[in-house]
Amino acid sequence: MNDQIKEKFNMIAKKYDSQRRYLIPCLDDFYNITTELIELNSVSPSILDIGAGTGLLTYYIYQKYNNAKYTLIDISEEMLNISKQRFEYFNKIDIEYIVADYTKYHYKQQYDAVVSALSIHHLTADDKQEVYNAAYNILKNGGVFINADQVLGLCEETEEINRKNWIKRIESSVLNQEEKKSAYSRMALDKMATLNKNIEMIKNSGFKNVEVYYKYYNFAVIYARK
């Protein structure tokens, strides 16, 4: 994973959550639908959050599965430090933090669910495929994989529509010019793939049941079961 990404997110860590609602116009739908899709038989499932950042997705899932065993992995130690603060007073939560590049990390267990939000789009096509392969391999049979992420438009016209909508919402937000500039600089590091390409790569990993349950411009929630 690019060192620039690590540096950018270490720098923004403390402000990231306060800005996220303005950067992700469909935030509540995005995280709530991801959480709703996690239907597991275990009363104490093991859930891996890759590219977990400040732990926001895990926070949503915790409201549904407060007896789960959580593992959060991210390349940015500063982002995970914010996550630790988020869960500091959650006495019951069983949580493990891993500071590592998840494209290279060798997992030591299997999980009931593997989830990710707004992270995999930073990766090259080859790394995306490796992450999808790893997700399949470390899931228990019947486990679910959900990627809530940004995707590229299918053609130049649709991508331009996506981009204009996002920029319009950023410019009309309460973010100051420095914060907007920072968001645009992080956007320049994106390596988004189209929704169709992501689905193709997920199927190539071995997943048979792949479905898109939500899409808002370039934001999509992709579901797969092993």
Residues listed for the chain: 226
The identity of residue 125, as a single letter, is: A
Residue 221 structure tokens: 């929630």
Averaged pLDDT, 85-108: 93
The position carrying tokens 């669910």 is 113
Query: Residue 56: CB partners within 8 Å, gap ≥ 6?
Result: 17, 20, 31, 86, 117
Chain centroid, CA 53 distance in Å: 8
Averaged pLDDT, 128-138: 98
Domain ranges of the chain: 3-225
User: What is the biggest distance separating any 2 CA atoms in the chain, rounded to whole angstroms?
Assistant: 50
Say which range, 7-16, 70-79, 129-138, 179-188, has the weakest mean pLDDT: 7-16
Q: Report pLDDT digits (tens) over 5-36.
A: 544 444 444 556 667 777 888 899 999 999 99
Give the Cβ contact number of residue 175 at 10 Å: 18
Between the alpha carbon of residue 59 and those of residues 83, 116, 166, the distances in Å are 9, 13, 25
Give the Cβ contact number of residue 36 at 10 Å: 13
Question: What is the distance between the alpha carbons of residues 52 and 108, in angstroms, rounded to a whole number?
Answer: 18
CATH number of the structural domain 3-225: 3.40.50.150
Query: Residue 7: CB partners within 8 Å, gap ≥ 6?
Result: none
Q: Which residue has the higher pLDDT, 181 or 160?
A: 160
112 touches 48 (CB < 8 A): no
Rg (CA), the chain: 17
Averaged pLDDT, 56-65: 95
Q: Report pLDDT digits (tens) over 69-90.
A: 999 999 999 889 999 999 988 8
Q: DSSP class of residue 152?
A: B
**For position 16, what pLDDT does the model report?**
61
**For position 18, what pLDDT does the model report?**
64
